[in-house]
A and B are shown apart, each in its own frame.
Chain A
Amino acid sequence: MSKGFYTRLAVTNIRKNSKTYFPYILASSATVMMFYNLLYLLLSKDVNSMHDSSTLSAVLGLGSIVTGIFAFILLLYINSFLIKRRKKEFGLFNILGMEKKHIARIMLLETVMIGLLCIGLGLIAGVLFSKLALLLLLKILAMNASFGFEVPLRAVSITVILFGAIFLINLVYNVFQVHVSKPIELLKGGNVGEKEPQTKWLIALTGAAALGGGYFIALTVKSPLAALNLFFVAVILVIIGTYCLFTAGSIAVLKTLRRNKRFYYRTNPFIAVSGMIYRMKQNAAGLASICILATMVIVMVSSTVSLYIGLEDSLRTNYIREISVSASDTTPDDIKQVDDAIAETVKIRGLSIHNPIRLRYASEAAIQDGNAFTGIRSAGFSSSGLSMLMFITAEEYHRIEGVSVELSEGEALVYIVKGKLPGETLDFGGYSLNIRGRLDKMETIEEFSPLKNSMLAQSYVIVTADEQDLNRARQALNEGEEWLPGFQYNYLFDTKADRKAQADLVSSLQYVMRDLSVHVFVEGREASKNEFISLYGVLFFLGLFLGALFILGTVLIIYYKQISEGYDDKERFAIMSKVGLSRGEIKKTIRFQVLSVFFLPLIMAVIHIAAAFPVICKLLTIFNMTNVPLYAICTALTILVFAVCYAMIYSLTARTYYRIVR
């Protein structure tokens, strides 16, 4: 047989299977394009020449790895579907006298052709779109683009190698599939009568319990720190719950529906429910995966978008004043030094201090139990009782709030930022203080971010008579430890100057503070803005990018799932039309069936997201994102966009499905 024969055969095969191969080629090209674009951004000179490119390349690098892995899984999955459909064809070749090595040769030719086509198309599209991707990224990062066009060879070669490898693995898998099966099996393909799946109540109940547990954690978690600790547990529980419920729960529900005679014995439910009982056996895991994937996409996109949009908010939450000076382990003398240095530098710069906040305090973390606090060293770590204690002296209280109080030794004033303190006394590891009074208001503290944004569920301010009394309480908390870290000092203020002046002031303050005997840390809101933008911006970019990729993947998986079901259902619908099911009814039933398979994962994903909402809000506060309405809007919009993409693919799929079974 001539070489031309194989080539011709391979081309005809691809053309004949175009209904299933076209989306595959499209998907492969799209993933090639996206992968190349990420690599391009990672390796391009424009991006690498930016200041602070390390965060950027770390995030982009991570994104490329995720994209690569996702492309690998997606293309492998679609390929396994394609080869299953074509087994009959290869069985026929085999029976007509073609040896398996000849079939392998055809497969090789097909793979080479499709591979070259996809990689070629993807790279061309990638190169064309790369400038656009760069401009988008730079726009997000609020930077200017340079002129010129670049095609980093390393990006091209890595893309070619990765996708070449994926196609090679697919080829090996296909050849192996044909090799291990007998011609008669190839001819038969997948048509074997299957038993009705059993209802597995135990798994269904486990699933419900796991899901309930996950939701319970997500809905009841109190502090961001607890959220951080438990989020992972909740996610695992929800994943387990989703899988169990889709596999066993769906069958239990469907069988219950079947038992309801008045519901079941009507045309639509009759055909759909009976079909889905079988469908679920093969597809439950797939649908559960789609559900989890969709949840992750929506969470990822909505949180990165809201972080980026809420950037200014976050910045203000994190830096309540333009300039922030902080020193640790300070004595009153040190403070004077710092204050003087600041006043002098500001004056030299020709600026003035506005809205200053000055606070010298000692903070301790302790485990709270009612009114008793134990040091974390002896009590061990537990996120639920963990509380933050901020000690200040009566003198300091007077200075910041302008109210003088007379406290004697063993007495304290308390101000509750978050949490509860019942009773008349406080106990710090054995040392007790009488509560002399409770403060309703403490303006300085209310503004002071470290406490307000604390990840803990409890935080209190304790005002004591003097430093000795204060340290006695701290020592007791630390089990009599002689050496205690000194007082923390924060000096925050605005200058009402422009960005440049602020940045310059930060630099000169940093310079001046180097000469002092204490260690001082100077930060500026404007100076930090760039770091925020580059981190949140690249996360935002990646969120959009991966979001698009995952939507593509999700949609393709469902498309192929539905098509393969269409082939399975063809015979069923043929029988039913013989018995008297009309064309209109067939269309209606198909719509009902495809609709439920399509939107079940999405509805479940939306429920997951609704349950996860409180815990994600708490997690976002770690990123200084406290604007809950903004996050809610972002989530709703993301779900909407996702649902619209979904609906478009649904109508396409339903049409293709109908054409198959007709």
Chain B
Amino acid sequence: MALLDVRNLKKVYTTRFGKHQVQALSNVSFTIEEGEFVAIMGESGSGKTTLLNILAALDQPTSGEVLLAGKSMTSIPEKEISAFRRDQLGFVFQDFNLLDTFSLRDNIFLPLVLAGKSYKEMSSRLLPIARTLGISEILDKFPYEVSGGQKQRAAVARALITHPRIILADEPTGALDSRSSDELLNLFGEINRQGQTILMVTHSAKAASHANRVMFIKDGEVFHQIYKASKSRHEFYQNISDALTVIATGGDRRE
């Protein structure tokens, strides 16, 4: 059974007075297996943010279904949705979304505090994660005291600490310089090798080349997808670039 099963997702936005309808997703179906690292690429307006919002249970689809480990996300009652998000999903955002009023440690603890975990359990969970991410030394610092790369690693730790089924990353390198980006993507690869499923939305072909599979979205549909398989990263990058060029010039190819 696939970990994440997306079936015929459709999302239509209606303007305030119902005069215009905008179709953000027309028909999206795909599956993600346990342990995969998938990148979703697409231009602005292609529908990838809408897709991510639905996967994050922040938004409801007009029709279609999302199954996480066999359980339909659309059927979860409103009351339990926050707890579900907290326990099953981990988020990494482009602008980090760390709270300035908390130290990095407390930012990482936030979802666990909300889940009512004891301090002892929180610290024992944090220890290995902080070591992997290389932020053990700066846990007591505040977000405004550390660099962008360090902030994003703290955000990754916050996503990991709940042991989520899947990590949803929205342009995680969007606000980082190239060196920090490389470090972060290598970490994603490392976490993925340890068995963590990751779904990442990105603009950058270079970021996408770290994934095992890249899906391209255009006009609200999955337009194309390629697997890394046994290719080297460089070759995979080349494939992604070619695919992007074809999509941008309006080619109509499906695999």
Please report A residues at the B interface, Cβ cutoff 8 Å: 193-196, 261-262, 265-267, 270, 274-275, 277-278, 572, 575-585
Say which residue of B91, B122, B142 sits within 8 Å of A578 (CB atoms).
Answer: B91
Say which residue of B97, B100, B115 sits within 8 Å of A194 (CB atoms).
Answer: B100
Chain A CB within 8 A of B1 CB? no
Scan B76-97; emit 1 where CB is below 8 A from any A CB, else 0. Answer: 0001011101110001010001
Given the interface pairs A195-B144, A261-B119, the reply to whether A578 lies near B97 with Cβ below 8 Å is yes
A578 to B98, CA, bound (A): 11
Min CB distance B160 to A, Å, is 13
Which of B101-109, B127-135, B179-187, B215-223 contacts the other chain? B101-109
A580 and B86 contact, CB distance less than 8 A: yes
Q: Count residues on chain B whose CB falls below 8 Å from chain A CBs.
A: 31
B91 to chain A: which residues have CB within 8 Å? 578-579
A265 and B113 contact, CB distance less than 8 A: yes
A274 and B102 contact, CB distance less than 8 A: yes
Chain A CB within 8 A of B111 CB? yes
Task: Pick 22 A–B contacts, CB within 8 A, sort by A.
Answer: A193-B144, A195-B142, A262-B119, A265-B118, A265-B122, A267-B113, A267-B114, A267-B116, A274-B101, A278-B100, A278-B101, A575-B98, A576-B99, A576-B110, A578-B97, A579-B86, A579-B110, A579-B114, A579-B158, A580-B83, A580-B114, A583-B82
A580 to B144, CA, bound (A): 23
A580 and B111 contact, CB distance less than 8 A: yes
A319 to B87, CA, bound (A): 79
B99 and A575 contact, CB distance less than 8 A: yes
Smallest CB gap from B84: residue in A: A580
Apart from A261-B119, A575-B99, A576-B99: 10 A-B pairs, beta carbons within 8 A: A193-B144, A265-B118, A267-B113, A274-B106, A572-B101, A576-B110, A578-B58, A578-B91, A580-B114, A582-B82
A581 and B101 contact, CB distance less than 8 A: no
B111 and A579 contact, CB distance less than 8 A: yes
A576 to B97, CA, bound (A): 9
A433 to B158, CA, bound (A): 88
A194 to B144, CA, bound (A): 8
B98 to chain A: which residues have CB within 8 Å? 575
A266 to chain B: which residues have CB within 8 Å? 113, 116
B83 to chain A: which residues have CB within 8 Å? 580, 582
Say which residue of A262, A265, A275, A578 sits within 8 Å of B109 (CB atoms).
Answer: A265
A585 and B101 contact, CB distance less than 8 A: no
Min CB distance A280 to B, Å, is 12
Smallest CB gap from B122: residue in A: A265
B101 to chain A: which residues have CB within 8 Å? 196, 274-275, 277-278, 572
Min CB distance B208 to A, Å, is 24
Which of A194, A275, A576, A580 is packed against the most chain B CB atoms within 10 Å? A580
Closest 3 CB pairs of A and B: A580-B86, A582-B82, A261-B119
A572 to B116, CA, bound (A): 20
B118 to chain A: which residues have CB within 8 Å? 265
Smallest CB gap from A581: residue in B: B114
B87 to chain A: which residues have CB within 8 Å? 580
A441 to B2, CA, bound (A): 101
B119 and A582 contact, CB distance less than 8 A: no
A194 to chain B: which residues have CB within 8 Å? 100
A270 to B91, CA, bound (A): 20
B82 to chain A: which residues have CB within 8 Å? 577, 580-583, 585
A572 to B97, CA, bound (A): 9
B144 to chain A: which residues have CB within 8 Å? 193, 195
Which of B91, B98, B101, B144 is packed against the most chain A CB atoms within 10 Å? B101
A578 and B93 contact, CB distance less than 8 A: yes
- Chain B interface, >50% SS class: helix
B109 to chain A: which residues have CB within 8 Å? 265
Smallest CB gap from B56: residue in A: A578
A274 to B143, CA, bound (A): 14
Say which residue of B81, B100, B113 sits within 8 Å of A270 (CB atoms).
Answer: B113
A265 and B119 contact, CB distance less than 8 A: yes
A584 to chain B: which residues have CB within 8 Å? 79
Which of B58, B91, B99, B116 is packed against the most chain A CB atoms within 10 Å? B99
Within 8 A of A (CB), among B121-159: 122, 142-144, 158
Scan B59-84; emit 1 where CB is below 8 A from any A CB, else 0. Answer: 00000000000000000000101110
Min CB distance B114 to A, Å, is 6
Smallest CB gap from B58: residue in A: A578
A572 and B79 contact, CB distance less than 8 A: no
A580 to B164, CA, bound (A): 12
A265 to B125, CA, bound (A): 15
A265 to B114, CA, bound (A): 9
Given the interface pairs A580-B82, A580-B86, the reply to whether A196 lies near B114 with Cβ below 8 Å is no
Min CB distance A139 to B, Å, is 54
A575 to B91, CA, bound (A): 11
A577 to B93, CA, bound (A): 13
Say which residue of B58, B81, B111, B122 sits within 8 Å of A582 (CB atoms).
Answer: B81
A202 to B86, CA, bound (A): 42
Which of B98, B114, B116 is packed against the most chain A CB atoms within 10 Å? B114
A44 to B229, CA, bound (A): 96
A583 to B79, CA, bound (A): 8
A580 to B97, CA, bound (A): 13
A275 to B99, CA, bound (A): 10
B116 to chain A: which residues have CB within 8 Å? 266-267
Smallest CB gap from B123: residue in A: A261
Min CB distance A13 to B, Å, is 22
Which of A277, A572, A575 is packed against the most chain B CB atoms within 10 Å? A575
A576 to chain B: which residues have CB within 8 Å? 99, 110, 114
Say which residue of A274, A577, A582 sits within 8 Å of B79 (CB atoms).
Answer: A582
A86 to B111, CA, bound (A): 35
A193 to chain B: which residues have CB within 8 Å? 100, 143-144
B113 to chain A: which residues have CB within 8 Å? 265-267, 270
Scan B156-175; emit 1 where CB is below 8 A from any A CB, else 0. Answer: 00100000000000000000
A581 to B111, CA, bound (A): 8
Smallest CB gap from A574: residue in B: B97
A64 to B116, CA, bound (A): 56
Min CB distance A282 to B, Å, is 13
A579 to B89, CA, bound (A): 9
A580 to chain B: which residues have CB within 8 Å? 82-83, 85-87, 111, 114-115
B100 to chain A: which residues have CB within 8 Å? 193-194, 278
A585 to chain B: which residues have CB within 8 Å? 82, 114
Smallest CB gap from B115: residue in A: A580
A277 to B101, CA, bound (A): 8
B143 to chain A: which residues have CB within 8 Å? 193
A585 to B116, CA, bound (A): 12
A583 to B77, CA, bound (A): 13
B97 to chain A: which residues have CB within 8 Å? 575, 578-579
Smallest CB gap from A262: residue in B: B119
Min CB distance A587 to B, Å, is 12
A262 to chain B: which residues have CB within 8 Å? 119
A584 to B81, CA, bound (A): 12
A275 to chain B: which residues have CB within 8 Å? 101
Smallest CB gap from B96: residue in A: A575
Min CB distance A332 to B, Å, is 84
A582 to chain B: which residues have CB within 8 Å? 79, 81-83
A274 to chain B: which residues have CB within 8 Å? 99, 101-102, 106
